[in-house]
Amino acid sequence: MKIAIFGVGYVGLTSAACLINDGHEVIGIDVSASKVAMINAGKSPIFEPGLEELLAKGVAENRLSAFQQIDDKLEDVDIAIVCVGTPSAVDGSHNMGYIAEVSRQIAIASTLLPPRERPLTVMYRSTMRPGSLDLLIAPIFHAQHGGKPDNVELVYNPEFLRESTALKDYYAPPKIVVGTADGQPSATVEALYAGIDAPRFTVGFREAEITKFVDNSFHALKVAFANEIGRICLRESVSAKTVHEIFVSDTKLNISPYYLRPGGAFGGSCLPKDVRALTFLSNETGAETFVLDAIIRSNEAHKRFIFEMATDGLEPGARILLNGLAFKANSDDLRESPFVDLARRILSAGYDLRIWDPQLEPSALTGQNLGYSFAHLPEMTSLLLKDQAALAGMNFAAVVDARGDAKALGLETVKIVPINAIP
């Protein structure tokens, strides 16, 4: 294929090199005269292992050239890849000025294209907030074409290239994520990545656009968390290296998808207690662990969010069924259960609450479990339904599904609110 790359910075150059290596023809377009001159001389404006050799190969084989202007260079191009920068604005958002201008230039050039068998695929790789394709880029193309263009296909394809290993990462990415207008595969993009073996996700624009934000923020969180634990260990004469080895050895829970699915708030007898204790230890030793300090506050905020999601759109006094009260399904442990808090909020807001939890028998509760449950929800016994048959004769405005099996109850309700898996 013939591929145009707009913006020959780090991502643009490394992508160009790999595309050349795959046998494609590449043209680079950049406003920098010095970059254009270096590329046309087979030189790389940046250092990346193996990069300059591939660029030189492309120039020598007449499969790489660079320009400052688009002009008519899109006439026989299959894919236009946009890799221009989205630097931070003063308020912390991305500055989308370069994206908007390049999009305008491509949109104008695409109005002059001759008839094509396939539309020009315009692929954006720059990191940008969800909604950028829908609310900024697509309208630019629509404005130039007088409506939705039939000769242009917009695609979002985030990159996962790390400096110093970018060429290897291109061929062995952790995943390939492609966002399209309808969430269906793009034939051109499928052909582009046909030789790369990696998990593939074809999704809507917004799911693809947020992917890089989520990944990078989690990477930053992991670094900050690890360093906070390291500071505590150092102050307590604990080997941080040994703690790290133990921690990362657990791929069943610690390094796994298990606790990373958006859903309910955490609770139970262990997590809240130990987070508070470690935060106390950190404050006592002066380790200044701001990530740890925020965990409980974040969990409380999520409890409020769940309440708002559960009651959204309901009439005052509406009858609500809470399917599950224990902190997790198939348990009767109510200690610091987020659903006890949710029940209390629902009652305080004036709704008519009923609870279904077949594993829960108030008379069997003992010790701290007994004390916590009745101290925080003294009405519990009167709210609990005794058997599933009692559900049939009641009309509920909503079922708040904490157990994950509300549909099996056979209720016809206005809505089922899934708590343990945010859709």
- Are residues 44 and 34 in contact, defined by beta-carbon separation less than 8 angstroms? no
CA dihedral 235, 240, 242, 243 (to 10 degrees): 90
- Are residues 416 and 407 in contact, defined by beta-carbon separation less than 8 angstroms? yes
Chain center to CA of 31: 32
Q: Helix H segments across 64-152?
A: 97-110, 132, 138-145
* Alpha carbons 392 and 18: distance in angstroms, whole number: 62
Q: Helix H segments across 319-393?
A: 338-348, 367-376, 380-383, 389-392
Residue 343's nearest CA partner among 302, 388, 387, 384 is 384
CA 27-70-134 angle, to 5 degrees, is: 95
Please name the residue that has the structure tokens 């629902």: 346
* Alpha carbons 324 and 101: distance in angstroms, whole number: 53
How many helices (H) and strands (E) are present in the chain, helices listed first? 16, 12
H or E element in which residue 152 lies: strand 152-156
- Are residues 160 and 175 in contact, defined by beta-carbon separation less than 8 angstroms? yes
The token pair that represents 389 in the structure block: 């048959």
Residue 106's nearest CA partner among 75, 85, 131, 130 is 75
Give catalytic residue positions: 270
End-to-end, the C-alpha distance of the chain in Å comes to 38
Residue 169's nearest CA partner among 49, 44, 57, 28 is 49
